[in-house]
Chain A
Amino acid sequence: MRLPPGQYLTEDFPVLTAGPTLRVPTDTWEFVIVTEAGEKHRWDWQQLMALPSERPTVDLHCVTKWSKLHTRWQGVSLDVLLEGVDTAADYAMVHSYGGYTTNLPYEDLLHGQAWIAYKFDGEDLTPEHGGPARLLVPHLYLWKSAKWVRGITLMDEDEPGFWESAGYHDYGDPWREQRYQGD
C-alpha cells in the first residue's frame, strides 16, 4: 500500500467545509458548462441521470493530511459531459452552490480522471459530502473535488479559486506534495 508523502491513513470520512452545509434539491439542481466563447451547455438532474455512468473506485487525499483508500463512487465522466462541447480552453473554474470555486487545467478533467459523482458507497451522496452531486478529481488534493457542484467555466487563462487564492497550491498534486504556493 502506497501513500503520498506526508499523508496518514484514515478509515472514516472526515467532513471538511468552508461554509454551511447546503441542501440543494434535485428538482431545481442544474449543471452548466460555459465555454470561453460564452456558449452554455445545461443539464438538469433527470438529464444527468439519463447519461451513462461509471463506478470508479479511487483513493482520496486531503491536504489536511488524511488519505482514504478504495472509496467507491458512481457518477458521469466529464469525458461524456464535454463530448459535445466546442472548446480550446486550457483551464477550468469549477463553481459550487454557495459560492465555492476551484481551478484546474482543462486536461485534468479529461481521460477518465474526473466525474460528476452522485453516489458514494452505493448510496445517494449526502449533503455533508457534497450531494446531490460533487466533482470527483481524485488525482488532485480533495479541495479540488468541489462539493455541491453547479458548473464549470472554461477559460483561456488560469485564475485562482477559493483556496488557490489564499495560499494553497494552484495545481495540488498529492504525489509531489503540492500543498501550498511555492511547494
Chain B
Amino acid sequence: MELFSDDFTDGNALAGPLREIFAMDMTQAMGRCVNCGDEGPVAGLKVYTHAPGLVARCPSCEEVVMRLVRSPSSAWLDLRGTMSLRIPMPVE
C-alpha cells in the first residue's frame, strides 16, 4: 500500500500566494498561541525590542510566539510559538 503519492510540485507554487500575504500589514492578523491556545491580533502582542532581535510574547501566557532577527542581508522570522495566523484579505 502506498502511503505517500508523488503528486506534488516544488515550492515555487507558493510564490504568488506568499507574496500576496507577506506584502500585507500583518498587525491585524489573528495569531493563535501554541502554548495556551489563545487567539488575538498581532498588534496586541507584548513586544520586547531591547534585545538582539524582536521578541513577541503572548499577552495571556507570556510565551514567545514570534521572533524576528534582522541582519544586514537577511531577516529571520521564527513562528514556532504561533499555531496559526489568520490574515484578513481584501475581498475581491
Please tell me which stretch of B6-14, B68-76, B84-92 contacts chain A, meaning at least 4 of its Cβ atoms lie within 8 angstroms of it. B68-76
Q: Smallest CB-CB separation from B53: which chain A residue?
A: A166
- Bound state CA distance, A17 and B62, in angstroms? 14
B69 partner residues in chain A, CB cutoff 8 A: 163, 166-168, 180
B48 partner residues in chain A, CB cutoff 8 A: 17-19
Chain A interface category by residue count: 10 to 19
Q: Mark B43-84, 1 if CB is under 8 A from A, else 0.
A: 000001011110101000011100101010010101000000
Chain B interface category by residue count: 10 to 19
**Of the residues A15, A16, A20, contact of B52 by C-beta under 8 Å:** A16
- Bound state CA distance, A63 and B71, in angstroms? 11
**Of the residues A15, A64, A143, A166, contact of B67 by C-beta under 8 Å:** A166
A161 CB to nearest chain B CB (Å)? 12
**Of the residues A15, A19, A99, A163, contact of B53 by C-beta under 8 Å:** A163
- Verify if A165 is at the interface (C-beta below 8 Å from B): yes
- Bound state CA distance, A162 and B24, in angstroms? 27
- Bound state CA distance, A16 and B78, in angstroms? 19
Q: Is the CB of B74 within 8 A of A167?
A: yes
The majority secondary structure among interface residues of chain A is loop
- Bound state CA distance, A18 and B63, in angstroms? 11
A17 partner residues in chain B, CB cutoff 8 A: 48, 50-51
Q: Is the CB of B52 within 8 A of A63?
A: yes
B64 partner residues in chain A, CB cutoff 8 A: 18-19, 99
Q: Smallest CB-CB separation from A62: which chain B residue?
A: B52
Q: Is the CB of B50 within 8 A of A15?
A: yes
B57 CB to nearest chain A CB (Å)? 6
Q: Mark A51-94, 1 if CB is under 8 A from B, else 0.
A: 00000000000011000000000000000000000000000000
- In the complex, 13 of the A-B residue pairs with CB atoms within 8 angstroms, ordered by the A residue number, are A18-B48, A18-B51, A18-B55, A18-B64, A19-B48, A19-B57, A19-B62, A19-B64, A20-B62, A167-B71, A167-B76, A168-B52, A168-B53
13 new A-B contacts at CB < 8 Å, known A18-B55, A20-B62, A168-B69: A14-B50, A16-B51, A17-B51, A19-B48, A64-B52, A163-B53, A166-B53, A166-B67, A166-B69, A166-B78, A167-B53, A167-B69, A180-B71
